[in-house]
Every structure is written in C-alpha cells, then in structure tokens.
Amino acid sequence: MSRSSRYRPLLFLVSLSLWLFSGCGLLKGFRLVNQGRLVAAPGMTFDEVRKASSLELPKEYRMDKEATVTNSTPLAFDFELSGTGLRFRSCYFYSMWTKDPDPGLNYIQIQLDKNISWDTAKKELVEIQARLKENGFSPVVLPADGKNAEQRLQDALAGPAPGYSIGFGWTKNGISFVYSARRSPYAINGEDPNEGSHYEVELEMRKAKQD
C-alpha cells in the first residue's frame, strides 16, 4: 500500500485544516506573519533541521517505521534547501518524512503559493526553473517521450491550462527536485481552468535514485 493511501486520513485532516484557514476558507484575505526559516535537505535528521532552522518545529509523529513533521495549522515561513543556497519566501505548508532504519529525511514537500491563477502559476514555474539552472541543477529526461524538464515546461506554457497536476524534475548532488503546479481539488467542477484562482505551486525533494 502506498504512503498516500495508508495515511490518507491524516493528510486529509491536514489539508482540511489548511483549507479552512486559507484564502478559500475562513480567513480569506488575512495575511499571516512570517514565523521564520525552515532549512532542510534530504539526508538531514530532524535534529539537524531543528538546529539549522529558525522556524519552530513540532515533535515528529511516528507511524509504523515512518516519522513525519508537518504543520497542521496556518503558517507562513521561508524555506531554504540546505547546501544549495536556494531560498523560497512566503511558503505556507511543509511535510518532512523519514523511514527506519535511516534517520535522514527521505522526502520533503513544500507548498509555495495557493489560490493563484494559471498565468501566475506559469510565472512561478519559469522563475523556479531559472533558479535551478543557475544553481547547477540538471533537468531530468522522461523515458516516455525523451523530453527533459525544460522542454516539457515549454510545452506546458504553450498549451492550455491543465486540469490536473503537472511537474518537472531536476537533480543535483544526489537530490531529486520536482516542482509542480496543481489544480486545487476545491476548484469548481466544469469550470474553465484558465479562469479563477485554483492553482497551487509546490516543491518535492527526495534522495535521487542511484543507477
């Protein structure tokens, strides 16, 4: 059973909490105060993340052989991918995971923006790609079509607004970095994806698979 299906109840409660107090919910228009910087990277332990970060983190929650640290309430913070100099401001959600026996992080998820239009999401994706290139990351080629992340982003920019999640992968020094735009599950069914503000931009980081 996959992680998403095994822990769907927990993830649902977290998502519901964030939505209720997000731009779609009870505190629409309310701007959260930045609580500090989260500094993390795949391979770091929770203790190392806490020492490197000014953002106060809750105690990890354990489930079988896995442990996670996640914010379940509205939060504004900056994220830095440790060891790269890459920084992202005004994030609102994080989730970090470990799996026994390795105490180092094997998965990090960061959500940057929510309730934005497809036009705004496209600008975010282009900016993230430029920063990754400047930082020495290399685009991943998908065997299915032989196109790398740069080419796939160009196709996405030239095409219609997606009615689903679309992601682009890069790697550097053993880190797999994926950035994506996802249409919110709270978008109105049948609504034109080009209209409204129902997109979220998120980052995912893992230890890169070794050949």
116-143: b or e for each residue (b if 16 or more CB lie within 10 Å)? bbbeebbebbeebbebbeeeebebbeee
User: Which region among 23-27, 85-89, 202-206 has the lowest average model confidence (pLDDT)?
Assistant: 23-27
**Digit-coded pLDDT (tens) for 154-177:** 999 998 888 788 999 999 999 999
Q: Is the pLDDT of residue 67 over 80?
A: yes
Q: What pLDDT, in 10s, does the model give residues 27-56?
A: 444 567 889 999 999 999 999 999 999 999
Q: How many domains does the chain have?
A: 1
Residues 6 or more apart whose Cβ sits within 8 Å of residue 103 = 45, 46
- Containing structural domain, residue 176: 3-207
